[in-house]
Structure 1
């Protein structure tokens, strides 16, 4: 049996998709939420309008994942270590697949590295790529990257007729692509929110991709990994759709409007974590630094754009 830990939109959508192949246990920390999903066959809070199949069992009991040989960890990146600390012994028997995208703020570690640090005997994998929960939950065709040192069996178990997984053994590259594209989505949203136009967005996406490659190479990732779904594919989706929370945060920054503080926006913490590591290692990340300045309100959008445009001319 497959388990999904995390009853948010993405975890629920994955549980819905995978239940087409067999029983799935969907764990949420809220007993009330688990009962509501079981009674109404819908996650009305996070994925309204999507019917939960009969093979999907919501639960708030971590013990109900004991029979799962694969567990997908669909929790916010900055909460991953805490979840593993709290429930590690109950999860250690299974193959753990991180479904979060980001870099841990305090350590600069990627999701699979956090799993390894918390559970040294685990064989972590990573599921990432261009996807919105609403699309997956509705059964729309989606292609993702599955990163694992030995992922052939996992690829077969987690693929469905409409959820197509491509395999790589470059966990670091897949993790960097998924994390850094959120930072660039905030930048692109800010540009559009401020009325700077689609040409500015295209420039930010392209030069942002160059930053992603620099950061990934510095961490011994393969550039070709970032040219795939987990990097370029996710970058294109996230920087151009208001379904992306990161993009919507950028829109709010650019337009000078408010953004709901309770919404998890992975790119906010990731941008700060990446900027800190980049400074320590001498990696040139001007767009990332600009996003941090906007988030921390140490610089205006006009000031950030002026600084980016005033950088020395060079070859592409």
Structure 2
């Protein structure tokens, strides 16, 4: 007996939104897998993901499953679990999928324990399977409600990227293919850190001019970081870099932006990271990105300030002063690779 050829693993807000978006443009069923059996039962009964995406009715074409055997016929699986849980999840599902199943990584971050990019984590957890990365500006609520969204689908095999982008695109969901996996991953990871910084600016009432400067200078940091790890400047200037940065650094829908705003308003970062609080990937990524940058001989002033504030080494006021007192330099040299002050 055959089963759906497309599956989404992870029934959080984004995974559920992907299922809604893809079901809208398909006549065949697809699988939405969740580890929590009670959540699956509730979604089956109500056709709503009340916890993560309330108010959005799930299409009957979405098969809600709690058993990994449901993935056995999938030729593509979109892995939409948090970045820090991705390696374990892929190891768990690997014995249940076919030898040529493509894994599409949908999380945005860097694994904190290993300091590795998520495509590297996935390749080790599922050796031999093709790995692609989906990233870019897309809020779950917008996607689930059928609002126009454009993102990037990257693979080291450009032909595969083009084929997968075409297969997943629909009337309201447009994917642009890329061969720059590193650039796409770095854009997605670093924009979360910079969104926290933008939220701090907003919460501390530092003004719109400061936020605009932060976005521009943050883009320079992203570009330098990408160049140091094999990414392309044009990728960072595209959807998965600048596009995603603008979205998450200017909108209250962004968890990272809300996290930063709360810090800017005086809430201790430790309070915001307690169990039960919304997951904020940028809080995990900040320190890791700074460590990787130091090893590569480049500086990330804004990301470092975010890390220092989250870890309690600096107050928001001290971090702001440090950034404003940095030596002046020529803007036309800011995208060069190498140590920057």
Normalised to the residue count of structure 1, the TM-score between the two structures is 0.98
Q: Establish whether residue 69 from structure 1 lines up as the match of residue 75 from structure 2.
A: yes
Q: What residue number does 2:139 align with? A: 132
Deviation at 1:122, TM superposition (A): 1.5
1:143–1:166 CA contact under 8 A, matched in 2:
yes
Q: What residue number does 1:286 align with? A: 301
Summarize the Cα distance change of 1:2–1:57 in structure 2 as closer, same or farther, 3 Å threshold. same
Structure 1 runs of 4+ aligned residues shifted over 4 Å read none
Q: What residue number does 1:56 align with? A: 62
Q: Establish whether residue 90 from structure 1 lines up as the match of residue 96 from structure 2.
A: yes
Task: Mark the runs of 5 or more structure 2 residues left unpaired by the alignment.
Answer: 332-341
Deviation at 1:260, TM superposition (A): 6.5
Q: Establish whether residue 27 from structure 1 lines up as the match of residue 37 from structure 2.
A: no
Q: What residue number does 1:13 align with? A: 17
Q: Establish whether residue 192 from structure 1 lines up as the match of residue 202 from structure 2.
A: yes
1:102–1:111 CA contact under 8 A, matched in 2:
yes
Alpha-carbon distance in structure 2 between the residues aligned to 1:240 and 1:89: 41
Q: What residue number does 2:164 align with? A: 154
Q: What residue number does 2:106 align with? A: 99
Question: Deviations along 1:139-185, whole A, 9 cap, x unmatched?
Answer: 11100101012212211211111000001010000000011000000
Q: What residue number does 1:259 align with? A: 272
Q: How many residues get paired?
A: 316
3-state SS of paired residue (1:122): coil
Q: What residue number does 2:327 align with? A: 312
3-state SS of paired residue (2:111): coil
Alpha-carbon distance in structure 1 between the residues aligned to 2:126 and 2:66: 22
Alpha-carbon distance in structure 1 between the residues aligned to 2:76 and 2:122: 14
Q: What residue number does 2:173 align with? A: 163
Q: What residue number does 2:85 align with? A: 79
Normalised to the residue count of structure 2, the TM-score between the two structures is 0.91
Alpha-carbon distance in structure 1 between the residues aligned to 2:314 and 2:97: 44
Q: What residue number does 1:42 align with? A: 48
Deviation at 1:259, TM superposition (A): 3.3
Q: What residue number does 2:252 align with? A: 242
Q: What residue number does 1:183 align with? A: 193
Alpha-carbon distance in structure 1 between the residues aligned to 2:237 and 2:195: 17
Task: Mark the runs of 5 or more structure 1 residues left unpaired by the alignment.
Answer: none
CA RMSD of aligned residues (A): 1.1
